[in-house]
Structure 1
Amino acid sequence: MSPAPESRSDDEVLAGTDVTLLLRYGLTEEAFRTALFGDGAIAAAVTLDRLGVLPRSLVFVAEIVRSGGLAYAAGLPEPLPSPEPAAVLRDWLSGAAQTATTPEAETRAARWLEAVAEIVALRRSARGGTA
C-alpha cells in the first residue's frame, strides 16, 4: 500500500496556479472568465498577500490599467512599492497585455485587480490585521 500523499493547504495549492495563463485567456475568452475571477483571483491574492502587498496598492494599479492600459501598467518600473511583488505583478500584466488588447479586456483586468485587492483585504481582516 502506498503512503498517503502529504497534505497541502488550500493556500499552497492555489499559490501554484499559473496566474499569467489565466489572465491571458480569462480576459479574452468567456470560457475562462469564471476561473480567472475565482481561483485566479484567490491565487493572486494568496501570492501577493504572502509578499506583503497592501490592497490599496492593487487598487492603484487597477486605476493605472483603466487610464493607461495593461501594456502601460506592465511597463512601469515598479508597479508596486517592493521589488519582489512588483516583479510578480509586472510578469502577470505583461502576459495579459500580449492578448488583452481591447478596451473591454483592459477594463476586466482592472476589475480583476480590484477583486484581488478585496480578497487580500479579507485575508488580512480574517487574521486580525488591518486591510
Structure 2
Amino acid sequence: MPPAPDSRTDDEVLAATDVAVLLRYGLTQDAFRTALFGDGAVAAAVTLDRLGVLPRSLVFVAEIVRSGGLAYAAELPEPLPSPEPAAILRDWLSGAAQTAGTPEGDTWAARWLAAVAEIIALRRATREGTP
C-alpha cells in the first residue's frame, strides 16, 4: 500500500492559490467573482496575515483604489508599511489594473480589499479569543 499523502492545512492550501490570476478574472468576469470573493479573499488574507499586515492598512489601500483606481494604487511606492507584503500587493494590483482598470473594476477591487481586511481581522480575533 502506498504511503498516505502528507496532509496540509486549509491555510497551506489557500496560501498556494494564485491570487493574481483570480483578481484578473474575478474583476472582469462575473463567473469568477464568487471564487475571487471566496477562496481568493481568504487566500489573500492568509498570505498577508502571515506577513503581519494589519487590516486597517488594507482598508486604506481600498480607499485609494476606490478614489484613484487600481493603476494609481499599483504605482504607490509603499502600498503597505512592510516591503515584502507591499511587493505582493503591488503585484496583485498591477496585474489587476492591466485587465480591470475600469471604474467598475476599481469598485470591485476596493470591495475585495475591504473583504480581505475583514477576514484578516476575523482571523486575528479568533486567534486572540476576542469576539
TM-score clears 0.5: yes
Whether 1:120 and 2:98 are equivalent positions in the alignment is no
Partner of 2:62: 62
Give, in whole Å, the separation in 1 of the partners of 2:75 and 2:88. Answer: 13
Aligned counterparts of 2:3 and 2:92: Cα–Cα separation in 1: 37
Q: CA deviation at 1:93?
A: 0.3
Number of residue pairs the alignment of both structures matches:
130
Relative to the length of structure 1, the TM-score reads 0.97
Aligned equivalent of 1:95? 95
Where does the alignment leave 5 or more consecutive residues of structure 1 unmatched?
Answer: none
How far did 1:121 drift?
0.0
Query: Residue in 1 aligned with 2:22?
Result: 22
Could you say what secondary structure the match of 2:128 adopts? coil
Q: Which letter does structure 2 place at the counterpart of 1:83?
A: P
The normalised TM-score by structure 2 is 0.97
Q: Which 4+ residue blocks in structure 1 deviate beyond 2 angstroms?
A: none
Q: Which runs of 5+ in 2 are unaligned?
A: none
- Between the aligned partners of 1:98 and 1:7, the Cα distance in structure 2 is 37
- Percent of aligned pairs with the same residue? 85
Counterpart AA for 1:75: E
**1:102 & 1:2 partners in 2: Cα distance?**
51
Letter aligned with residue 5 of structure 2: P
